[in-house]
Structure 1
Amino acid sequence: MTGLVVGSRRFRADREADWSALEALLDRADKTSLRRLSDDDLLALPRLYRAAVSSLSVARATSLDADLVAYLEALSARAYFFVYGVRGGLAARAARFVLRDLPAAVRGLAVETLVALALLALGTVIGFILVNRDPAWYASFVPEALAHGRDPQATTASLRATLSGGGDQPLALLAGFLFTNNARVAIGAFALGFAAAVPTALLMLSTGTMLGAFFALFGGRGLGIELGGWLMIHGTTELFAVVLAGAAGLRIGGAVIFPGASTRIAAAQAAGRQAATVMIGVAAMLFVAGLLEGFARQLVTGTVARYAIAGAMFALWSGYFYLPRRTR
């Protein structure tokens, strides 16, 4: 025991100067930034880090005192992020995510996005055909809470009035309600992807049937064009987000079904990381859609103006996600 104590003290005495120097450098970098360090300090930082890691390895191997091992672990971990960590502050990392990481993640789901869009379109066609043939199908596709009186029993005049904007409900409250509903659909499409993507596909279809049912009802009263403006002023953003959420769920489900050389858990985890990046963008799109749905749709009552806003938003999102970018 005496030999271990003596060895620990000698070990500390021989190397403590380097540890103190490294700790002092890290303290200065924390208070200012790495850019404020001199060239000599920047050259010394990786050398001192390697010395600390080497000391930690020796301390663990020779069973020196636990406090010393804990100190060296904390010092090495702290230095690691300065030597190998991400350069730049929070603003730089956020800019990189917005400008590079998110669009790249969305482009990586191109196949799944097309599949989700096809399922949504198929559901729309099915809903339109069934309701057009038998209006009784309308209640099966459109929940009463979302219909708000827009059903086959409504008169043409009342249906036209619902497309004019306004309403008794405060716009901020309406925007919050609609955003919550849209977010629930998108999150469900993403989360259900773990169940082999089957529920995600069904949710895409059901969303489409609801859309088709609306068009069958209003189109049968000669209000199809007006309904398109009423829906698409926010729909090009909202449905784009829902399709991307569905694509994220399909990617996870595909990884579960076809894991390749990896295990299913490892494949699902890898797909989940990419899908989670896309879902951050989906959340932002749903927030914008909620504002458009709760405010712009109520304040902008002209059909042409609504289509113009819808087209501008679709061009904005498409350009942001899919226009090629220079890589470093």
Structure 2
Amino acid sequence: MTASNPVFGVSQFRSEREADWKRLEALLDLVEKKSPRRLTNDDLVELPRLYRSTLSALSIARDTSLDGSMIAYLESLSTRAYFILYGCRDSFWRQIGDFFAQGWPAAVRGLFAETLLIAALFLGSALAGYLLVLSDPAWFGAIVPSELASGRDMNASIETLRESIYGKPERGGLEVFATMLFTHNSQISIMAFALGFAFGIPTVLLIASNGILIGAFYAAFVPKGLGVGFTGWLMIHGSTELFAIVLAGAAGLHIGRAVAFPGPRSRLAAAGEAGRRGALVMIGVVIMLLAAGLLEGFARQLITADAARFAIAASMFALWVGYFALAGRRRNG
């Protein structure tokens, strides 16, 4: 006696399951085109079941090599359902809030060692630049471009240097000045980060060169008794701007270290993980540079009292350190 096997055909397969597919498609259209709030309680219960049923049908269709257009349809339907059920449904503002409340400070804390190293490199380079120019003033011209110096060099008089620190700016130029400085400092930070893939070597050189440049300026101001005034003039925005540049360098060095010493992971995987953390830091760095640009273009030009400048600088530095150290930490119990 011979048993006859049922014929497994596309038409029968579709007819047995098509009602569920159409129902799932209708629910997905409702969510995507209108709002998840339009779903009823029964719809919310039914949606996961329909998704699992569609996945099961897709698996059978693939294994039995059924109609290609049907497989493509089920794949599309399953993908849409997956993102509806498991994708990120947070609002844009919720994601922004999570970035500031947890993502950014946590990423910065993950770069603690690199941040200390870059900060030490910057300070050491500034000291080296200062001592180098003091020993031979001719080095100032080799370190500082003439357009950046703008007359504030080793040959400038005390009156000229004092005017550059405390003088009133020309009317109408502050907005342009702030934009220019923001663009310049953003370029430095982005380069320090982007060049990190080359084992961090270009990042280190870039940070060191900027430290040397700051030190050279100090060599022009300190011997004329304007060291305190120059520090206040610089740090009213520098406590934010230099902090941002150090973080950008730390992010670049973090990638470079991952590429050079990937550990048990592949270099690509290590660089990818470091890059994701560094990218979070860099988003925040741009925000810090924007704040520094406003301080540099406005507050530094309009506030000329040393005490007020130092108060703003100390407050901003304490704000950033406190934020990065404490924000987003999970408290137990």
Given that residues 229 and 306 in structure 2 are in contact (C-alpha distance below 8 angstroms), is that contact kept between their aligned partners in structure 1?
Answer: yes
Amino acid at match of 1:200: T
Shift of 1:153: 1.7
- How has the CA–CA distance of structure 1 residues 316 and 250 changed in structure 2, closer, same or farther, with 3 Å as cutoff? same
Residue in 2 aligned with 1:213? 216
Q: Does 1:117 align with 2:119?
A: yes
User: 66-75 vs 120-129, which deviates more?
Assistant: 66-75
| Partner Cα separation in structure 2 for residue 266 and residue 37 of structure 1 | 40
- TM (norm. structure 1) is 0.93
- TM (norm. structure 2) is 0.92
Residue in 2 aligned with 1:285? 288
| Partner Cα separation in structure 2 for residue 282 and residue 173 of structure 1 | 21
Q: Could you list the per-position Cα deviations for residues 295-318 of structure 1 after superposition, in whole angstroms to 9, with x for gaps in the alignment?
A: 111121222111111111112211
Residue in 2 aligned with 1:17? 19
- How has the CA–CA distance of structure 1 residues 309 and 99 changed in structure 2, closer, same or farther, with 3 Å as cutoff? same
Given that residues 118 and 207 in structure 2 are in contact (C-alpha distance below 8 angstroms), is that contact kept between their aligned partners in structure 1?
Answer: yes
| Partner Cα separation in structure 1 for residue 197 and residue 172 of structure 2 | 38
Residue in 1 aligned with 2:65? 63
Shift of 1:108: 0.4
Residue in 1 aligned with 2:142? 140
Q: Does 1:154 align with 2:156?
A: yes
Provide the aligned length of Structure 1 versus Structure 2. 324
SS at match of 1:135: coil
SS at match of 2:9: helix
Shift of 1:46: 1.3
Residue in 2 aligned with 1:44? 46
Shift of 1:28: 2.3
Given that residues 103 and 328 in structure 2 are in contact (C-alpha distance below 8 angstroms), is that contact kept between their aligned partners in structure 1?
Answer: no
Shift of 1:92: 1.2
Indicate the RMSD between aligned Cα atoms, in angstroms: 1.8
Shift of 1:326: 4.5
Shift of 1:35: 4.5
1:20-99 alignment to 2 at 5 Å?
A: 20-99=22-101
| Partner Cα separation in structure 2 for residue 259 and residue 78 of structure 1 | 36
Amino acid at match of 2:69: D
| Partner Cα separation in structure 2 for residue 17 and residue 121 of structure 1 | 70
SS at match of 1:152: coil
Amino acid at match of 2:251: A
* Residue from 305, 308, 324 that aligns with 2:311: 308
Residue in 2 aligned with 1:101? 103
Residue in 1 aligned with 2:241? 238
Identity fraction in percent = 55
| Partner Cα separation in structure 2 for residue 193 and residue 237 of structure 1 | 22
Given that residues 124 and 211 in structure 2 are in contact (C-alpha distance below 8 angstroms), is that contact kept between their aligned partners in structure 1?
Answer: yes
Given that residues 105 and 327 in structure 2 are in contact (C-alpha distance below 8 angstroms), is that contact kept between their aligned partners in structure 1?
Answer: no
User: 167-176 vs 198-207, which deviates more?
Assistant: 167-176
| Partner Cα separation in structure 2 for residue 118 and residue 189 of structure 1 | 16
Residue in 2 aligned with 1:228? 231
| Partner Cα separation in structure 2 for residue 144 and residue 71 of structure 1 | 66
| Partner Cα separation in structure 2 for residue 147 and residue 74 of structure 1 | 61
Given that residues 101 and 327 in structure 2 are in contact (C-alpha distance below 8 angstroms), is that contact kept between their aligned partners in structure 1?
Answer: no
| Partner Cα separation in structure 2 for residue 119 and residue 169 of structure 1 | 38
* Residue from 173, 176, 187 that aligns with 2:176: 173
User: 308-317 vs 221-230, which deviates more?
Assistant: 308-317
